[in-house]
């Protein structure tokens, strides 16, 4: 079989490392093209994989496995299922766009190299089936991000990068301890040291141990997502990153956290996930409301997106811990959607910044009349983010709320307020930036063809997924079902409700 997954992980990694060693005579202007080229090839491979992916099958597909460090029981194993599938696709879509849309002129060689390595790390994190490998990849995302943020970021990028790094690394610290503890508990029970997710899923442990491990894992994922109250790094990081990195941060890396929750928390500690679900649910709901309120008060557009992201990630977590088929499927779908429209938002912000050198809502005004194309696309993306039916944001959010309502009614009720708030702050910001009359009547160039070309794929996805969610759901559902049935014995009861929603 064609090694899609290996290529997906190693192509950008090898390309990234090679770029580092390019001779300095290599003209600088070609680097960006090179980056786009590599990531586009990556996209093509990902697309081919999507075609190859068998629908209606729950487990991992295209599994490959090599013994890497037998002494530690570490293997190098890759596999994809419905949960990781669209996250990989998301990465493969967003990276070319981020690179293409990037405006970094300083040291393009290193920039491209880091971006490609970051892509490899992100894709790798989604694809690996071995806890050790996952941790490696999970960690590996930090380093490029750190450098991208501090070297190409805004003035305070360095500080934001340190904050980001310390927060997420601290989370990883717990993750690593948790992984090791789990492995040795498994070792104690079976006498077999392994890091394989599949093998570890059936580890027998006391409920206390399970809860502690669940917390250790969750902290890492909640920080990465981010979920209230671990989000404090994110506004700084989003606002100080270069646009391309912000796209990756908000669009892809945030999903690493939620992906980790499904993949590891649910599969490895199903009981603890259920018994401590209320805790995470509460955090998620608080995050939804808090993020929305804070976003409403925020005058810096990037920070606004960061807080809105907090709110939206809260929704996703809500969907996850609802422990219903529909909620979980919605959450997985929403991960994809959120990635798309967040990326689009950041791209637009970058374009605004390139023209006005500021993202402060109080200093921006009257763009709509000068740049109608931009305003139009912005409106569309914003509406998707608010969750307007027919656009992609709606499907996921609706399924999440529905799923949560089934199992955790009151949380869902509070969560709905987030939708309302998001409409408020988004429209408010839109109104300030685009509709107010600009007192100085400064000029504002509309989007160039190139910029439109950058945005078009995302717009298509926003609309397309909104209209045909089943293209995705049909691939997501079996895996979600498998996760749930592995995690719970009662999944059959909820299965029936899936039919109604899916057939909508």
Contact set with another protein (CB under 8 A): 20, 24-25, 28, 68-72, 74, 103-107, 110, 132, 135-137, 139-140, 143, 146-147, 150-151, 154-156, 158, 161-162, 165-166, 169-170, 173-174, 176-177, 180-181, 183-184, 187, 353-354, 357-358
The minimum distance between CB 197 and another protein, in angstroms, equals 17
Cβ atoms of 488 and 327 within 8 Å: the answer is no
Please say which residue, 183 or 317, places its beta carbon nearer to another protein.
Answer: 183
The minimum distance between CB 71 and another protein, in angstroms, equals 4
Please say which residue, 93 or 113, places its beta carbon nearer to another protein.
Answer: 113
Please say which residue, 176 or 388, places its beta carbon nearer to another protein.
Answer: 176
Q: Rounded CA gap, 242 and 246, in Å?
A: 6
The minimum distance between CB 275 and another protein, in angstroms, equals 20
Kindly report the backbone phi and psi dihedral angles of residue 28, in degrees, each rounded to the nearest multiple of 5, phi listed first.
-65, -30
Please say which residue, 1 or 449, places its beta carbon nearer to another protein.
Answer: 449
Please say which residue, 244 or 404, places its beta carbon nearer to another protein.
Answer: 244
Count CA atoms within 13 Å of residue 411 on its CB side. Answer: 31
Count CA atoms within 13 Å of residue 42 on its CB side. Answer: 35
The minimum distance between CB 284 and another protein, in angstroms, equals 25
Please say which residue, 67 or 202, places its beta carbon nearer to another protein.
Answer: 67
Please say which residue, 129 or 419, places its beta carbon nearer to another protein.
Answer: 129
State the residue for tokens 């005058």: 299
Count CA atoms within 13 Å of residue 194 on its CB side. Answer: 16
Other CB atoms within 10 Å distance of the CB of residue 181:
15
Please say which residue, 55 or 362, places its beta carbon nearer to another protein.
Answer: 362
Other CB atoms within 10 Å distance of the CB of residue 406:
18
DSSP 54: P
- Closest alpha carbon to 328 in 443, 406, 427, 211: 406
State the residue for tokens 């970094």: 104
Hey, what are 132's tokens?
A: 């050790």
| N residues, the chain | 504
Q: Rounded CA gap, 317 and 323, in Å?
A: 10
The minimum distance between CB 4 and another protein, in angstroms, equals 22
Please say which residue, 22 or 428, places its beta carbon nearer to another protein.
Answer: 22
Please say which residue, 103 or 500, places its beta carbon nearer to another protein.
Answer: 103
Q: Rounded CA gap, 433 and 190, in Å?
A: 61
The minimum distance between CB 432 and another protein, in angstroms, equals 19
Hey, what are 364's tokens?
A: 């921006």
The minimum distance between CB 391 and another protein, in angstroms, equals 31
Kindly report the backbone phi and psi dihedral angles of residue 80, in degrees, each rounded to the nearest multiple of 5, phi listed first.
-135, 145
The minimum distance between CB 25 and another protein, in angstroms, equals 7
Please say which residue, 28 or 500, places its beta carbon nearer to another protein.
Answer: 28
The minimum distance between CB 271 and another protein, in angstroms, equals 20
CA angle 216, 222, 224 (to 5 degrees): 110
The minimum distance between CB 191 and another protein, in angstroms, equals 13
Cβ atoms of 324 and 435 within 8 Å: the answer is no
DSSP string, 424-446: HHHHHHHIIIIIS--TT------
Which residues, in sequence order, are bridge partners of residue 61?
80
Is 495 strand, coil or helix? Answer: helix
> What are the C-alpha distances in Å from 459 to residues 18, 61, 369, 422?
33, 30, 21, 20
DSSP 154: -
The minimum distance between CB 137 and another protein, in angstroms, equals 7
Please say which residue, 8 or 161, places its beta carbon nearer to another protein.
Answer: 161
Q: Rounded CA gap, 178 and 175, in Å?
A: 5
Cβ atoms of 412 and 401 within 8 Å: the answer is yes
Instruction: Say what angle helices 207-224 and 157-190 make with each other, to 10 degrees.
Output: 160
The minimum distance between CB 181 and another protein, in angstroms, equals 5
Please say which residue, 215 or 328, places its beta carbon nearer to another protein.
Answer: 215
Cβ atoms of 84 and 259 within 8 Å: the answer is yes
Hey, what are 426's tokens?
A: 């988004």
The minimum distance between CB 100 and another protein, in angstroms, equals 16
Is 296 strand, coil or helix? Answer: helix
């Amino acid at each position: 079989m064609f090694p899609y997954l290996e290529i997906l992980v190693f192509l950008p990694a090898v390309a990234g490392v090679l770029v580092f060693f390019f001779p300095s005579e290599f003209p600088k202007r070609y680097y960006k093209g090179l980056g786009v080229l590599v990531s586009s090839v990556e996209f093509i491979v990902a697309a081919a994989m999507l075609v190859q992916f068998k629908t209606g099958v729950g487990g991992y597909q295209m599994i490959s496995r090599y013994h890497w460090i037998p002494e530690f029981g570490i293997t190098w194993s890759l596999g994809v299922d419905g949960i990781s599938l669209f996250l990989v696709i998301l990465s493969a879509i967003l990276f070319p766009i981020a690179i293409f849309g990037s405006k970094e002129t300083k040291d393009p060689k290193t920039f491209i190299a880091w971006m490609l390595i970051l892509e490899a790390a992100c894709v790798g994190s989604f694809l690996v089936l071995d806890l050790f490998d996952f941790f490696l990849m999970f960690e590996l995302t930090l380093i490029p991000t750190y450098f991208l943020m501090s070297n190409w970021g805004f003035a305070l990028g360095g500080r934001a990068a340190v904050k980001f790094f310390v927060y997420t690394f601290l989370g990883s610290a717990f993750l690593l301890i948790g992984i090791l503890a789990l492995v040795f508990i498994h070792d104690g029970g079976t006498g077999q040291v392994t890091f394989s997710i599949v093998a570890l899923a059936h580890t027998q442990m006391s409920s206390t141990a399970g809860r502690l491990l669940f917390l250790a894992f969750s902290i890492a994922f909640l920080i990465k997502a981010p979920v209230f109250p671990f989000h404090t790094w994110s506004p700084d990081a989003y606002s100080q990153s270069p646009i391309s990195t912000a796209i990756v941060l908000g669009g892809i890396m945030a999903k690493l956290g939620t992906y980790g929750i499904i993949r590891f928390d649910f599969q490895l500690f199903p009981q603890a996930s259920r018994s401590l679900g209320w805790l995470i649910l509460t955090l998620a709901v608080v995050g939804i409301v808090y993020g929305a309120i804070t976003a409403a008060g925020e005058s810096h557009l990037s920070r606004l997106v960061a807080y809105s992201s907090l709110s939206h990630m809260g929704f996703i977590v809500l969907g996850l811990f609802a422990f219903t088929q529909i909620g979980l499927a919605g959450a997985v779908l929403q991960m994809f959607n959120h990635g798309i429209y967040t990326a689009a938002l950041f791209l637009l912000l970058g374009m605004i910044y390139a023209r006005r050198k500021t993202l402060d809502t109080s200093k921006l005004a009257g763009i709509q009349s000068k740049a109608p194309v931009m305003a139009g696309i912005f409106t569309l993306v914003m509406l998707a983010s608010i969750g307007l039916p027919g656009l992609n944001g709606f499907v996921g959010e609706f399924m999440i709320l529905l799923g949560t309502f089934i199992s955790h009614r009151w949380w869902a009720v509070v969560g709905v307020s987030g939708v309302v708030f998001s409409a408020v702050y988004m429209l408010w910001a839109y109104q300030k930036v685009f509709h107010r009359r600009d007192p100085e009547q400064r000029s504002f160039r509309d989007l160039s063809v190139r910029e439109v070309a950058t945005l078009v794929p995302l717009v298509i996805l926003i609309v397309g997924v909104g209209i045909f969610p089943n293209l995705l759901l049909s691939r997501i559902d079996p895996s979600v079902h498998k996760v749930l049935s592995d995690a719970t014995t009662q999944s059959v009861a909820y299965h029936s409700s899936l039919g109604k929603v899916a057939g909508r």
